[in-house]
Amino acid sequence: MEDPRDDEQYRGRLTPEQFEVTRNKATERPFTGKYWDTKDVGTYLCVCCGEEIFSSEAKYDSFCGWPSFYQVLDNQKIDAELDTSLGMTRTEVMCNHCGAHLGHVFPDGPKPTGLRYCINSASIDLKVDN
């Protein structure tokens, strides 16, 4: 069985942008990702391992240019750690199963959580409800 945290296994399965975002912690440019303004109903999965991370019910327009969610499906599905890169202090969000970089979470979101999970489109895949 492959180690889900072994970056090299994803190189051939992901686009170059997806690989850079998820495995090398890059950030896509705002307003360019596939899902920043999507209104489709469904579940957002980690693009690397398929773990269910977000529901479209928690998605909202934060006007930041990235898909934004006010909560995850299950807090056990993500890891969070302090990120002080680029001269900023923020909280990085990663897939708990495979370690993929998803984006960041900020304390300026709407009720009921007050959180804004600012997620790269390149790190997620939408499974649309039928």
Find the mean pLDDT for residues 104-124.
96
Q: Which residues are catalytic?
A: 118
43: β partners = 55, 127
Find the mean pLDDT for residues 17-21.
96
Assigned token pair, 6? 């072994």
pTM value surpassing 0.85: yes
pLDDT digits (tens, 9 = 90+) for 28-71: 999 999 999 999 999 999 999 999 999 999 999 999 999 999 99
pLDDT digits (tens, 9 = 90+) for 77-102: 999 999 988 788 899 999 999 999 99
Find the mean pLDDT for residues 13-42.
95
Alpha helices in 1-130 (DSSP H): 16-24
d(CA 124, CA 59): 13
93: β partners = 80, 103
Q: How far apart are the first and last CA of the chain?
A: 32
d(CA 3, CA 15): 20
In 3D space, the residue among 105, 116, 102, 7 whose CA is nearest the CA of residue 45 turns out to be 102
Strand spans (E) along 10-62: 42-46, 52-55, 59-60
Q: Quick check: 89 and 104 in contact, CB under 8 A? A: no
